């Protein structure tokens, strides 16, 4: 890979970690990740009500969501460097405090500019919680328990985006919209107390590297412009502005690649992609996450617009995927031990993709129970797949480079999930334009489901690149057995 710098990376010696109860550690981290993921989507159904209170149009309120995503995109890459300099536990707890303070500020906002400022503060805390939480798990959990631990922390990634819209709709229907932010207070206070009590402080690198300010600016500009550019293409926004943002983002991205080749300690260490298991997990996982990101956008729209279901009834169907993910959590370690990572990801990846392709066939006359069961299976398949990705990616990553690996992995994960939403919106918009539909029809949704499914199916090629014994030390699987 010619874009990656060739200088060898010095890996500092890191003392052996202390191993606390991995279940407790995973659940504590999961609380923080749940808040971060939930707040990315919970405002979706509350925007019209908030717009009336702020005396602005509903479309203008979209900046309240995108400002939060912007803070995530810009600050997640810096999380690893910040954690190594100031201490993982300290930064994680500080991130929870900042997030809760941002939530309080959101609840007291009386105008759109104040809400945007509060959401930026909230996103600053959220940007540090997910990657540093994953780093805590990777550095404190014994390798033999890593599959189970990562399965636990994966559940919030499903719960947050899927519960956000129906929870926001419920709160707006029966309570004040400010309760959307109040619910973060008890979770945040509990998480802060549990981190102080049960999470051990991880040893820091003896001599932290100098912060890569130029890389931070280039990376933030690239991620921010690409994120907003893709979003504007999927919305009723000027195409010229969207394309300009994409060009700026692409140019900044190329600038960062040029910069990273010439710096031994770049903000996002692309030399980690030389590690086979990490690279293959990043590429195949990115393709799968585009499909996963599109589903929470497409399914509620289809159920409410073309099926005529209420927001509550639609939310019940969407939650089927979450239930499937939770149930699969208990079976994931045993399945990986039996079939191994390579075979498991290869077969399950196809099943997960085809499961969402079935959504293209959903029609209003289908029994509710059948659609619920199919979506339950979709959630179970995706849960297994991402638990495998999130674990095997770090199999060969040296301990001293875990924070850099977590920052890079989480940055790409956030970008791909956002790209999934934008892809679903763009495909839906193009299908409507070709069919001359003012409102999306069932066929438009079917086209969108099929096309995003093809994206995740393309990950099969990358699954074949994993070694047959990939992750065998983590899962306990013996290559050639079973």
pLDDT digits (tens, 9 = 90+) for 337-350: 888 888 999 999 99
Whole-angstrom Cα distance, residue 208 to residue 196?
A: 24
Task: Give residue 1's pLDDT band: very low, low, confident or very high (50, 70, 90).
Answer: very low
pLDDT above 70: residue 160: no
Contact at 8 Å (CB) between 32 and 133? yes
Domain endpoint, select from 244, 264, 284: 264
**CB-neighbour burial class of residue 347 (10 A; exposed 0-12, middle 13-18, buried 19+):** middle
Give the mean pLDDT of 18-43.
72
pTM for the structure as a whole? 0.73
| Long-range contacts of 258-261, Cβ-Cβ distance < 8 Å, separation of 24 or more | 259/214, 259/215, 259/218, 260/3, 260/4, 260/5, 260/215, 261/3, 261/4, 261/5, 261/6
Domain shared by 288 and 323, yes or no: yes
pLDDT above 50: residue 424: yes
Domain shared by 386 and 473, yes or no: yes
Measure CA of the first residue to CA of the last residue in the chain; give whole Å. Answer: 36
Q: Of the given ranges (48-57, 203-212, 301-310, 375-384), which has the lowest mean pLDDT?
A: 203-212
Tell me if 361 is assigned to some domain. yes
Whole-angstrom Cα distance, residue 245 to residue 230?
A: 9
Tell me if 15 is assigned to some domain. no
For 310, the 3-state DSSP assignment is: coil
Query: What is the pLDDT, as a whole number, of residue 283?
Result: 92
Burial 41-60 (b: 16+ CB within 10 A, else e): bbbbbbbebbbeebeeeeee
Tell me if 160 is assigned to some domain. yes
Count structural domains, the chain. Answer: 3
Query: What is the pLDDT, as a whole number, of residue 422?
Result: 75
Tell me if 2 is assigned to some domain. no
Domain shared by 343 and 412, yes or no: yes
Domain shared by 426 and 302, yes or no: yes
For 110, the 3-state DSSP assignment is: coil
Tell me if 13 is assigned to some domain. no
Query: What is the pLDDT, as a whole number, of residue 157?
Result: 60
Domain shared by 73 and 131, yes or no: yes
CATH number at residue 52: 1.20.1250.20
Tell me if 231 is assigned to some domain. yes
Domain endpoint, select from 204, 230, 254: 204
Query: What is the pLDDT, as a whole number, of residue 367?
Result: 92
CB atoms within 10 A of CB 18: 11
Domain shared by 194 and 312, yes or no: no
Task: Give residue 431's pLDDT band: very low, low, confident or very high (50, 70, 90).
Answer: confident
Whole-angstrom Cα distance, residue 344 to residue 442?
A: 33
DSSP state, 200? P
Angle 215-221-225 from CA coordinates, rounded to 5°: 150
Q: What residues make up the domain containing 227? A: 213-264
Tell me if 38 is assigned to some domain. yes
Domain shared by 340 and 381, yes or no: yes
The torsion angle over the Cα atoms of residues 440, 445, 446 and 449, rounded to 10 degrees, is 160
Domain shared by 52 and 129, yes or no: yes
Express as a percent the part of the chain with pLDDT over 70. Answer: 83
Query: What is the pLDDT, as a whole number, of residue 84?
Result: 76
Domain shared by 219 and 199, yes or no: no
pLDDT digits (tens, 9 = 90+) for 238-256: 667 778 888 898 898 899 8
Domain shared by 297 and 424, yes or no: yes
Whole-angstrom Cα distance, residue 227 to residue 30?
A: 25
Give the mean pLDDT of 89-96.
88
Query: What is the pLDDT, as a whole number, of residue 476?
Result: 63
Give the mean pLDDT of 270-293.
88
Contact at 8 Å (CB) between 218 and 258? no
Token pair in block for residue 71: 């803070």
pLDDT above 50: residue 237: yes
Domain shared by 301 and 328, yes or no: yes
Average pLDDT in the chain = 79
Tell me if 12 is assigned to some domain. no
Whole-angstrom Cα distance, residue 249 to residue 242?
A: 11
**CB-neighbour burial class of residue 200 (10 A; exposed 0-12, middle 13-18, buried 19+):** middle
pLDDT above 50: residue 4: no
Query: What is the pLDDT, as a whole number, of residue 346?
Result: 92
Domain shared by 190 and 329, yes or no: no
């Amino acid at each position: 890979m010619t874009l990656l710098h060739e200088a060898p990376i010095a890996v500092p010696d890191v003392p052996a970690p202390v191993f606390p109860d991995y279940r407790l550690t995973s659940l504590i981290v999961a609380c923080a990740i749940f808040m971060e993921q939930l707040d990315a989507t919970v405002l979706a159904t509350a925007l019209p009500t908030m717009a009336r209170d702020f005396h602005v149009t509903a479309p203008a309120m979209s900046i309240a969501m995108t400002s939060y995503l912007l803070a995530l995109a810009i600050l997640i890459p810096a999380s690893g460097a910040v954690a190594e300099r100031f201490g993982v536990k300290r930064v994680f707890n500080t991130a929870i405090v900042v997030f809760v303070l941002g939530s309080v500020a959101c609840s007291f906002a009386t105008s759109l500019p104040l809400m945007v400022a509060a959401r930026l503060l909230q996103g600053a805390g959220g940007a540090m919680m997910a990657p540093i939480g994953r780093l805590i798990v990777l550095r404190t959990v014994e390798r033999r328990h890593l599959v189970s631990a990562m399965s636990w922390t994966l559940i919030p990634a499903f719960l947050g985006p899927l519960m956000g819209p129906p929870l926001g709709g419920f709160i707006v229907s029966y309570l004040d919209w400010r309760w959307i932010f109040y619910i973060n207070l008890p979770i945040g206070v509990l998480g802060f107390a549990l981190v102080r009590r049960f999470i051990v402080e991880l040893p820091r690198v003896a001599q932290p590297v100098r912060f890569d300010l130029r890389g931070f600016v280039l990376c933030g500009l690239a991620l921010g412009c690409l994120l907003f550019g893709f979003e504007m293409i999927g919305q009723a926004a000027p195409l010229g502005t969207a394309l300009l943002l994409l060009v700026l983002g692409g140019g900044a991205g190329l600038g960062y690649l040029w910069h990273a080749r010439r710096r031994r300690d770049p903000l996002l260490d692309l030399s980690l992609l030389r590690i086979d298991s990490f690279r293959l997990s990043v590429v195949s996982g990115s393709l799968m996450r585009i499909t996963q990101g599109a589903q929470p956008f497409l399914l509620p729209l289809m159920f409410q617009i073309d099926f005529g279901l209420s927001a509550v009834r639609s939310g019940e169907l969407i939650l089927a995927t979450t239930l499937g993910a939770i149930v699969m959590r208990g079976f994931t370690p045993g399945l990986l031990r039996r079939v191994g990572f390579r075979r498991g990801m290869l077969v399950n990846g196809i099943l997960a993709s085809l499961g969402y392709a079935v959504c293209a066939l959903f029609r209003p006359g289908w029994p509710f129970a059948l659609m619920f069961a199919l979506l339950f299976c979709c959630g179970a398949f995706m849960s297994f797949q991402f638990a495998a990705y999130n674990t095997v990616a770090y199999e060969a990553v040296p301990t001293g480079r875990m924070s850099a690996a977590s920052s890079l992995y989480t940055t790409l994960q956030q970008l791909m999930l956002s790209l999934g939403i934008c892809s679903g919106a763009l495909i839906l918009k193009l299908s409507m334009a070709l069919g001359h539909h003012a409102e999306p029809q069932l066929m438009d949704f079917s086209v969108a489901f099929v096309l995003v499914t093809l994206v995740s199916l393309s990950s099969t090629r990358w699954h074949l690149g994993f070694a047959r014994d990939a992750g065998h030390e983590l899962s306990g699987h013996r290559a050639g057995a079973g």
